[in-house]
Structure 1
Amino acid sequence: MRKAPSDFTAFWSLALTALLFLLIAFPEHAFASSTGSGLQWETPLQKLRDSITGPVAYAVSLMGIVVTGAILVFGGEINEFVRRVIMLVLVVSLMVFATDLLSTLFSAGAVI
């Protein structure tokens, strides 16, 4: 003889059936699909990349190269920590400058 289903089992069977119906009826909500560009942190990272590779970054890196070079040449006696910080600023400025310089020189394709 079969045992009658309890109210608890009947409730969860009905809830699961309703959930399955909703998933089938509205798949865009189930899969969270959208026409967006992707993950939520891509837009701020894109803005950051644009700001450190634009014309402002080019000018700041050029000034950084000139200022750190002048400090290293005319600075007199500098302790080791300050010298390393100046070298770090110089290297970062050179990296940003090189990125902008290379994209300026070699960004155009073949002209027909």
Structure 2
Amino acid sequence: MRKMFFGAAALAAVVVLFTPGLAWAAQAGAGLAWEGPLQTLTRSIQGPVAFAISLLGVVVCGAMLVFGGEINEFVRRAIMLVLVVAMIAFAANILTGLFNYGALVPVAGGLP
């Protein structure tokens, strides 16, 4: 039993020592054409304009749900969809402000 454990530990040590380059290569990305626009989109979600729009969206959607009276189910679901999108953008901005680390994209100079 001990031989098996030491053999597995030795194999794990060899794998860890000789394959760290693969982990770094995985972070580099493939450089595909659609990665640039997606990174631009995620950076723009964390900006001050997105923060103001998401805060306004949360207030307006909340008011519509509370004071909307009788609205049909489709409109209620559409309001909730807008509310969820606004909350996601709002949370991304709050995390960036509190921890200097974005929910979607790491901020320059943030945590490693």
Partner of 1:96: 89
- Identity over the aligned pairs, expressed in percent? 65
TM-score (norm 1): 0.59
TM-score (norm 2): 0.59
List gaps (5 residues or longer) in structure 2: 1-29, 102-109
| Aligned-partner residue type, residue 76 of structure 1 | G
Structure showing greater radius of gyration is: 1
Render the CA deviation track for 1:29-84: whole Å, top value 9, x for unaligned.
Answer: xxxxxxxx932222212211111221111111000000001111111101011001
CA distance in 2, matches of 1:85, 1:65: 13
| Aligned-partner residue type, residue 82 of structure 1 | V
CA distance in 2, matches of 1:83, 1:41: 34
CA distance in 2, matches of 1:53, 1:102: 9
Contact kept, 8 Å, 2:61 with 2:80, in 1: the verdict is yes
List gaps (5 residues or longer) in structure 1: 1-36
Q: 1:56 aligns with which of 49, 55, 67?
A: 49
**Number of aligned positions between the proteins:** 74
